Structure 1
């Protein structure tokens, strides 16, 4: 499996890079038959004080798969993230095999869902204008509102964007295309 390796606050030794490569090759065997679905994979290794974080993100046609593990022993974290990624990949492969049939019309099951049941699951509904904001202004609105995310039209690109709070407290930006 080819992947891009990114590091933050750590310089990987040749031994660690070889170990990571071997663990990624193990995953590659699971994905051989469906390699046309794999667009790209990024591996991020970060160190924050005594804690290591390894994150594997694969961009598949129509899907994004992400696995993240943390710990104090980098070799152990690499093992856990590769095992978790392999499990997730096998589950994804099973779904592909179970949901793709040679004749999709043959196994067409139509299930009618009562619209009222769906609407009853929604506790709160809000409507708002999609105002133009710069990224800085959107971040300020996010913080002022105390929400986990904020949807806005970016004044630089005129596209719809979402700024959001990540688990680690940092911010993320989703840029919608098309």
Structure 2
């Protein structure tokens, strides 16, 4: 597995790079077809006098299956964050392998990997609120992500949502050709939103 290690707002020293490679480089032993893996290291802004935590995000492409696995961890200690991140990725890979065995022979949507990769690499735009700071409630929009939406069936969207560990997933429903949102309900089931112009 090839590791592409990037620093977002923090320098990735050779020592940090070696630690990341040591802790995460062996994940491909859990699944033969792991392809490229991107590891992004960032520093969280400290809250009032405290020390900011490190944020480590890993995105792994599985080219043979057209899926993407992603996990994120935060801690003041990079080693601790990497250990927890490695455990999360191992669980995701195990779930992914179980699903592949369960759905063996079922056709896959090849565009899903490209869509998810673009979502993972989507541009993040910092927004400075242009509002009166004396107002009681101030809306502070932190991030905007732009990404392409790919056509897939509802069950495939739910599968991708679970693999990514998200509680919602936006996609174009192949059956209706409309943008839809699959989401995880509080009762553990799944819901589907189909927006219409009013």
Give the structure-1-normalised TM-score: 0.54
Aligned mates of 1:52, 1:75 — CA distance in 2: 10
Please tell me the root mean square deviation across aligned C-alpha atoms, in Å: 2.3
Equivalent in the alignment of 2:162: none
Q: Pairwise mapping of residues 84-95 of structure 1 onto structure 2 (< 5 A)?
A: 84-95=88-99
Aligned mates of 1:22, 1:172 — CA distance in 2: 31
Unaligned stretches of 5+ residues in structure 2:
46-51, 107-140, 152-198
Equivalent in the alignment of 1:7: 7
Equivalent in the alignment of 2:54: 52
Equivalent in the alignment of 1:128: none
- Of structures 1 and 2, the larger Rg is shown by 1
* Equivalent residues, number: 109
* 1:173–1:96 distance in 2 versus 1, CA, 3 Å: same
Q: Pairwise mapping of residues 53-72 of structure 1 onto structure 2 (< 5 A)?
A: 53-60=55-62, 61-72=65-76
Equivalent in the alignment of 1:82: 86
Aligned mates of 1:29, 1:59 — CA distance in 2: 15
Aligned mates of 2:41, 2:4 — CA distance in 1: 11
Equivalent in the alignment of 1:171: 144
Aligned mates of 2:17, 2:99 — CA distance in 1: 32
Aligned mates of 1:86, 1:43 — CA distance in 2: 15
CA contact (8 A) 2:3 2:21 kept: no
Q: How far is 1:13 from its partner?
A: 2.6
Say which SS state the counterpart of residue 78 (structure 1) adopts: helix
Aligned mates of 2:149, 2:103 — CA distance in 1: 28
Give the structure-2-normalised TM-score: 0.49
Unaligned stretches of 5+ residues in structure 1:
105-167
Q: How far is 1:39 from its partner?
A: 4.5
Equivalent in the alignment of 2:16: 16
* 1:177–1:93 distance in 2 versus 1, CA, 3 Å: closer
Q: How far is 1:58 from its partner?
A: 1.8
Q: How far is 1:21 from its partner?
A: 0.6
Equivalent in the alignment of 2:195: none
